[in-house]
Amino acid sequence: QAEAEAAVAAAKEAFPAWAATPRAGRARILHAIADGVEKRLEDLAGVETADNGALLRSHRRGVMPRVAHNFRFFADRLLELDHESFLTRGHTNHVTWDPAGPCVLITPWNAPLMLATWKVAPALAAGNTVILKPAEWSPLTASLLADIAADAGLPPGVLNVVQGYGAEAGAALVSHPDVRRISFTGSVPTARRIAQAAAAHLTPLSLELGGKSPLLVFDDADLDLAVDLAVEQYDNAGQVCLAATRLLVHSAIAEEFTRRFAERASALVRGDPRDEATDVGPNIHPRQLEKIHGFVRRAVAAGARAVVGGGPDTDLGGLHYQPTLLTGVTQDSEIVQEEVFGPVLTLQTFDTEDEAVALANGTRFGLAATVATGDRERAERVAARLVAGTVWINCFFVRDLRAPFGGSRQSGIGREGGTWSFDFYCDLKNAVTAPEGWTRHG
């Protein structure tokens, strides 16, 4: 708690000067941070893999370059940011984004640095100071980011990293009266506690809370593409909030789809995440592995059948779980309704478009959805009916920082990305000026 309070005090003290820094000056430092990330890319990739077990090749080729891009994108977006002035009965309206103040950013363990910088970059670009609390299971790259930011010339107190447990450091941060924004990515139960703490001071929140996303495969889909999309959901050992863990397949192609899927899934290389050949690495923690296996055990006991996998990968040690596909599940079952956050997918069948949409929307979540179909009109029709913040059609995980990101229902509150990030991290102001009659008094 003492460290949390010290970090907020430092952020509060540094805020006026950073908020007053011209946009070009803030953008220049964000680009310098991106330069620092690129210079230390190999180091960051190796540390992240050692810390959370995700594939080293992914960190090298995709994740860490995206970390640098996060800073560059919001630096450039800041310089482009402007509302058009508009007239009201001759009066000019001019809308601006004003920095809000110290921001608390709480990030998860599945993509630690990438998801942290997704929040840090726009918050800093907007002129705010930041207190970042990374997940206790994956703390290391957040501290390295603080070093990189300091080397890039970010003034003291503008970016503060607080390590600790949520019940201690996190609770002290989200309940602090000097915090002006809270952004959290994580579980629904934790989000409820954060929202209750923030309510005391009416601190605005942005919450991204995971999901139970569907992949709808219609009988006119390219079956090879659909299987590729489904197998891709095992990325990061299934520890991806956006993963389409519920496969909804038209009954006419379900048997062939399942056969091809099982063939592809069994060919995935499981092993050390530092090995370039590995496709599926370990889960992050023994507690997480036991949680995953608990879901599978209960599902099988309730009548589900594991047609792929179904248990820990004991040959690889205590953190690996076999890529698993369960059939024979019901819509109201725990395995269909609750987020597992591991390499476990379920398969259900449907006969009509209406049935597919009903199954897809039949959970309390609404983060994302994926649709595989060869019919453009069906794709547009189904996408319009799905409850999801993002819908991918015949593709998956295509992300553009200009687009809004967030979830519906219990997948979250608010949207970030592009201008939506600045809308959240700023106080919007409208200045209205009379058309004529400027007078000088005194």
Task: Give the model confidence (pLDDT) of 127-136 as tens digits.
Answer: 999 999 999 9
Whether residue 440 is contained in a domain is answered as no
Cβ 107 vs Cβ 134: under 8 Å: yes
Whether residue 441 is contained in a domain is answered as no
Statement: residue 442 has pLDDT above 70: no
Whether residue 401 is contained in a domain is answered as no
pLDDT (mean) for 348-375: 97
| CATH number, residue 231 | 3.40.309.10
Cβ 49 vs Cβ 59: under 8 Å: yes
Provide the percentage of residues in the chain whose pLDDT is more than 70.
Answer: 99
Statement: residue 78 has pLDDT above 70: yes
Do 139 and 118 lie in a common domain? yes
- pTM score of the predicted model: 0.94
CA proximity to 347, closest of 173, 232, 216, 210? 216
Q: What whole-number distance in Å separates Cα of residue 421 and Cα of residue 97?
A: 11
Whether residue 416 is contained in a domain is answered as yes
Do 355 and 412 lie in a common domain? no
Do 151 and 276 lie in a common domain? no
Do 138 and 231 lie in a common domain? no
Please write the tens of the pLDDT for every residue from 82-107. Answer: 888 899 999 999 999 999 999 999 99
Cβ 119 vs Cβ 111: under 8 Å: no
Statement: residue 162 has pLDDT above 60: yes
Query: Most distant CA pair in the chain: distance in Å?
Result: 86
Provide the percentage of residues in the chain whose pLDDT is more than 90.
Answer: 95
Q: What is the dihedral of CA 312, 239, 207, 4, to 10 degrees?
A: 80
DSSP secondary structure of 171-199: HHHHT-TT--EEEEES-HHHHHHHHHHHH
Whether residue 398 is contained in a domain is answered as no
Whether residue 402 is contained in a domain is answered as no
Statement: residue 330 has pLDDT above 80: yes
Whether residue 400 is contained in a domain is answered as no
Residues annotated as catalytic (active site), given as ranges: 208, 241
Do 220 and 194 lie in a common domain? no
- Please tell me the predicted confidence (pLDDT) of residue 83: 81
Secondary structure in 3-state letters for 316-356? HCCCCECCEEEECCCCCCHHHHCCCCCCEEEEEEECCHHHH
Arithmetic mean of pLDDT over the chain: 95
Do 228 and 148 lie in a common domain? no
Residue 300 domain boundaries? 214-393
Do 378 and 242 lie in a common domain? yes
* Position with higher pLDDT, 439 vs 130: 130
Q: Which residues contact 281 (CB under 8 A, 6 or more apart)?
A: 53, 54, 55, 236, 237, 270, 271, 272, 273, 320
* Position with higher pLDDT, 396 vs 441: 396
Do 190 and 221 lie in a common domain? no
Statement: residue 254 has pLDDT above 70: yes
Q: Which two tokens stand for residue 262?
A: 């099982």
Do 10 and 131 lie in a common domain? yes
Q: Which residues contact 342 (CB under 8 A, 6 or more apart)?
A: 237, 238, 239, 283, 288, 289, 291, 292, 295, 321
Number of neighbouring beta carbons within 10 Å of residue 411 = 27
Do 361 and 418 lie in a common domain? no
Do 20 and 148 lie in a common domain? yes
Read off the amino acid at residue 243. A
Do 200 and 220 lie in a common domain? no
pLDDT (mean) for 404-417: 93
DSSP secondary structure of 152-164: TTPPTTSEEE--S
The pLDDT-based confidence of 439 (bands split at 50, 70, 90) is low
| CATH number, residue 110 | 3.40.605.10
- Please tell me the predicted confidence (pLDDT) of residue 142: 97
The pLDDT-based confidence of 437 (bands split at 50, 70, 90) is low
Q: How many domains does the chain have?
A: 2
Please write the tens of the pLDDT for every residue from 208-243. Answer: 998 999 999 999 999 999 999 999 999 999 999 999
Helix-, strand-, coil-residue percentages of the chain, each rounded to 5: 45, 20, 35
- Please tell me the predicted confidence (pLDDT) of residue 436: 78
Please write the tens of the pLDDT for every residue from 24-43. Answer: 999 999 999 999 999 999 99
Whether residue 67 is contained in a domain is answered as yes
- Please tell me the predicted confidence (pLDDT) of residue 84: 80
Secondary structure in 3-state letters for 85-129? CEEECCEEEEEEEEECCCEEEECCCCCHHHHHHHHHHHHHHCCCC
